[in-house]
Chain A
Amino acid sequence: SQELEQSPQSLIVQEGKNLTINCTSSKTLYGLYWYKQKYGEGLIFLMMLQKGGEEKSHEKITAKLDEKKQQSSLHITASQPSHAGIYLCGADNTGTASKLTFGTGTRLQVTL
């Protein structure tokens, strides 16, 4: 199965600062999904990237997939306490999203 590595494992940023989380795959990604998890709860879908070079934004969160389709980054601009949680990337290695493999997650804390 496809291996996904996320970095950093944890992150503490001051409110208002920007941050970036990376997700790297050892194989070509057919689809890359970003999720956010509040502590002790389920995962909330953020966005999905499919094409090399693709970039999507939702409010202050922007995700990109590189041209080679092996790395994705999630960028948060002007972080807020509401951004705190665990961010996970999920990889589709079938082209049909019939089975997703997840990274280990990045724990984000936002301090006042």
Chain B
Amino acid sequence: DVKVTQSSRYLVKRTGEKVFLECVQDMDHENMFWYRQDPGLGLRLIYFSYDVKMKEKGDIPEGYSVSREKKERFSLILESASTNQTSMYLCASRRTGTINYGYTFGSGTRLTVV
């Protein structure tokens, strides 16, 4: 089974800190995604990557950046954390061209910015 691992389940950071959220998948998937999940708003796409060193903005990229230096790792960076970035962050991956199986998600990182 594909495994998508997010480095932290819970994280508490201070306003203004630079925050790194790490995501690693072990099945050689080309595509990787970062979503945030908030009550009443569902999942919203922040950034995605079709392959190594490639990145595309999602629906809400402001305040975030990403890095994809290796195929298995996709990092989400909060340049200067703010309280409105308190959320559940979910990473996902999929193999290009496989439409029948959806995305494989990690367990999520619940980030609190104080």
Q: How many A-B residue pairs have CB under 8 A?
A: 63
A48 to B104 alpha-carbon distance, docked (Å): 13
Stretch at the interface among B14-22, B42-50, B71-79: B42-50
Question: In the complex, how many residues of chain B place their beta carbon closer than 8 angstroms to a beta carbon of chain A?
Answer: 31
Q: Give me 19 other A-B pairs in contact (C-beta within 8 A), A96-B97, A100-B45 excluded.
A: A33-B102, A35-B102, A40-B88, A40-B108, A41-B107, A42-B108, A45-B102, A45-B103, A48-B101, A50-B99, A50-B100, A90-B102, A90-B103, A97-B98, A99-B58, A100-B103, A102-B42, A103-B42, A105-B42
Give residues in B with beta carbon < 8 Å to A. Answer: 4, 31, 33, 35, 40-45, 48, 50, 58-59, 88, 90, 92, 94, 97-108, 110
Residue positions of A touching B, CB distance < 8 A: 1, 31, 33, 35, 40-45, 48, 50, 88, 90, 92, 96-105
